Amino acid sequence: MQFQSFLKIARRWWVLGGALVLCASASAQQTVPWPGKNIRIVVPYAAGGPADLVARELAQVLTAELKQSVVVENMGGAMGVPALGAVARAEPDGHTLLMAAVGNVVLQPMLSKQGGADLVAKLRPVSTVSTAPHVLVTSAKLPIRSVQELVDYARANPGKVSFASAGTGGTAHLAMEMFKSLSKTDVLHVPYKGSSGSVNDLVSGQVTALFSSYPSLQGLVDKGLLRVLAATSPSQSPATKSLPLMSATLPGYDYTTWYAMYAPLATPAPLVQRIQQALNQALRQPGLVAKIEAAGTELHPGTAQEVQAWTQRDTDKWSRVIRDARIAID
């Protein structure tokens, strides 16, 4: 893992971002002729997932507001490296954007040597888009009904509590490592190739617990096959307001997926500001807010500075987890 090189690139990115923001302020009054053709939003995930849902609903609103077609292109695989590269190499004219997650722009560069850090440095943050809290669930076959009971059980049975994930280095794996560190327990990571197998084994009780988005498992929870213990965000959100928080039992626990919009680095500052304004206006539409919240995600219209703050916060947080757990994916 090349933490120091990634952190150096990240710091240069934040400094450059601050300078570009100043330029944007000075040029704010300029009229930017945008859009002049179809806009493409590249999503580094397959169709049908949470990121794809937000991107497609957002694209519909933007299409109506901008009077120009906004299309979503799914480019999944390799933790987002192909998608990052496609946008980094695109014309910096505001017509090719990237809606990336924390896993693509923070985790992948720290976990892999596949060029993620170099590609992130060639992108420019535009706006925050959304956050998605997760939940900790267990099999209903197990006599565990709270986070504290899970901690107590894990301490009484070292190495017998197992956490499933969709793969090594994924956010669910890192969330488990954070649980392990804060709870001071010895738990086992069981990586799967995808989520379906892990959910089936969780239902049967072959694995103990799993971190996941709430909507994806709610049907199984409603049938009594799985039990939700807590939400993983540091504070309540509309999607999980009825659930206790992990941080109530494990102070400092915070596992939230966030998404932000990016453009090629050379995109002019006035144009970035124009795109940001359009995104923020769309993200505040009541109909869009209601639809996305019903799917377990919360929209966050914001600024490039907020993206930089989220990036620095999660770089600091997850780099410690990755280093202490000695995780690498290649």
Nearest to 148 by CA among 51, 266, 217, 245: 245
In CATH terms, is domain 3-133+255-325 a member of 1.10.3720.10? no
What CATH superfamily classification does 135-249 receive?
A: Periplasmic binding protein-like II (3.40.190.10)
Residues 221 and 211: their CA atoms lie apart, in Å, by: 14
Structural tokens at position 51? 């990121």
Q: Is the peptide bond before 268 cis (omega within 30 degrees of 0)?
A: no
Nearest to 279 by CA among 87, 74, 83, 130: 130
**Burial class for 312, CB neighbours closer than 10 Å (0-12, 13-18, 19+):** middle
Which pLDDT value is given to residue 316?
A: 94
CATH topology identical between 3-133+255-325 and 135-249 = yes
**Burial class for 142, CB neighbours closer than 10 Å (0-12, 13-18, 19+):** middle
Which pLDDT value is given to residue 5?
A: 57
Which pLDDT value is given to residue 188?
A: 96
Which pLDDT value is given to residue 25?
A: 42
Residues 286 and 142: their CA atoms lie apart, in Å, by: 41
Strand partners, 124: 263
Question: For the chain (length 330 residues), average pLDDT per consecutive 10?
Answer: 54 54 45 86 91 96 97 91 96 97 93 85 97 92 94 94 92 95 96 85 94 88 95 81 93 94 97 97 97 90 97 95 88
Strands (E), the chain: 39-43, 70-74, 96-101, 123-133, 135-139, 162-165, 188-191, 209-212, 226-231, 256-264, 298-299
Where residue 205 falls (left for φ over 0; alpha for ψ -120 to 50; beta otherwise) is left
Residues 94 and 76: their CA atoms lie apart, in Å, by: 22
**Adjacency order of strands within the sheet including 256-264:** 70-74, 39-43, 96-101, 256-264, 123-133, 298-299
Q: pTM of this prediction?
A: 0.86
Instruction: State how far the alpha carbon of 186 is from the alpha carbons of 133, 159, 161, 325, in Å.
Output: 25, 5, 8, 12
Contacts of residue 186, Cβ cutoff 8 Å, sequence gap at least 6? 154, 158, 159, 180
Q: What are the boundaries of each domain within the chain? A: 3-133+255-325, 135-249
What are the phi and psi torsion angles at 298 (to 5°)?
A: -115, 125
Label residues 212-239 b or e (16+ Cβ within 10 Å = b): bbbbbbeebeeeebbbbbbbbbbeebeb
Which pLDDT value is given to residue 62?
A: 98
